[in-house]
């Protein structure tokens, strides 16, 4: 490979390391061309899977600011650069490796940090983004239902209280004025002492 081609390949790998959601390094020794095609198809549009030279990968990783990758760069290496759901892709790689022992997961990179093989396998145990979103939506729906009930409950209680007061008011109108209120007749009556002078003046 000519020098400019190597530089271009390093730049491409460094860009993928920087812009992918994660990357998984594998050893594919023993896999046939048909096996590799099957693996690529299983990953779908969530990842690209391609063979990479160890020397160029090491340089690209350093340019991307990733440390600790050198120890995994032994033997034939192919990298899955994940652009979609990390859990789905790592789960697919793990399942493929179970059915095809020739594929070995060597390590990975996520958020610029090196992950060993065990850490990559733990990513496969995570729930997919779709499942998490579904749970989040379900949780939000449940919380909204609780909130709606909380808002409705005081209103219902208030309606019951007002209804009870209305019933008591109909049975005893004095309840509206309170225990210390005078009856309406008393409130409107003019005292006799005040009415007498007015009557005398009218007689004159």
Between residues 158 and 3, which one has the greater pLDDT? 3
Over range 169-193, report the average pLDDT. 48
Say if residue 20's pLDDT is above 80: yes
Say if residue 91's pLDDT is above 60: yes
Over range 106-123, report the average pLDDT. 93
Q: How far apart are CA 135 and CA 141, in angstroms?
A: 10
Percentage, residues of the chain above pLDDT 70 = 61
Over range 108-121, report the average pLDDT. 93
Q: 107: part of which helix (H) or strand (E)? A: strand 104-110
Least confidently predicted of 50-54, 174-178, 181-185: 181-185
**What is the arrangement of strands in the sheet containing 47-52, beginning at the earlier edge strand?**
47-52, 77-82, 22-27, 104-110, 113-116
Between residues 150 and 7, which one has the greater pLDDT? 7
Fold of 3-126: Alpha-Beta Plaits (3.30.70)
Say if residue 121's pLDDT is above 80: yes
What pTM, to 2 d.p., does this model score?
0.61
pLDDT of res. 118: 93
Contact 22, 110 (CB under 8 A): yes
Say if residue 202's pLDDT is above 50: no
pLDDT of res. 109: 95
171-178: long-range pairs with CB below 8 Å, 24+: none
Over range 36-52, report the average pLDDT. 92
Over range 111-128, report the average pLDDT. 87
Over range 3-18, report the average pLDDT. 92
């Amino acid at each position: 490979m000519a020098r400019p081609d190597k530089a271009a390949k390093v730049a491409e790998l460094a860009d993928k390391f920087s812009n992918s959601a994660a990357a998984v390094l594998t050893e594919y020794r023993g896999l046939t061309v048909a096996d590799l095609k099957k693996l690529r198809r299983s990953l779908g549009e969530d990842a690209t899977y391609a063979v990479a030279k160890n020397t160029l990968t090491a340089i690209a990783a350093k340019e991307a600011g990733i440390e600790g990758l050198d120890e995994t760069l032994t033997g034939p290496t192919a990298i899955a650069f994940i652009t979609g759901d990390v859990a789905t892709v790592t789960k697919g790689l793990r399942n493929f490796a179970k059915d095809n022992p020739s594929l070995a997961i060597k390590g990975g990179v996520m958020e610029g940090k090196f992950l060993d093989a065990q850490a990559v396998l733990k990513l496969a145990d995570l729930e997919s983004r779709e499942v998490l979103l579904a749970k989040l939506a379900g949780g939000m729906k449940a919380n909204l239902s609780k909130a709606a009930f909380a808002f409705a409950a005081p209103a219902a209680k208030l309606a019951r209280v007002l209804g009870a007061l209305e019933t008591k008011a109909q049975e005893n109108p004095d309840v509206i004025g309170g225990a210390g209120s005078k009856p309406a007749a008393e409130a409107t009556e003019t005292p006799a002492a005040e009415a007498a002078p007015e009557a005398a003046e009218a007689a004159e």
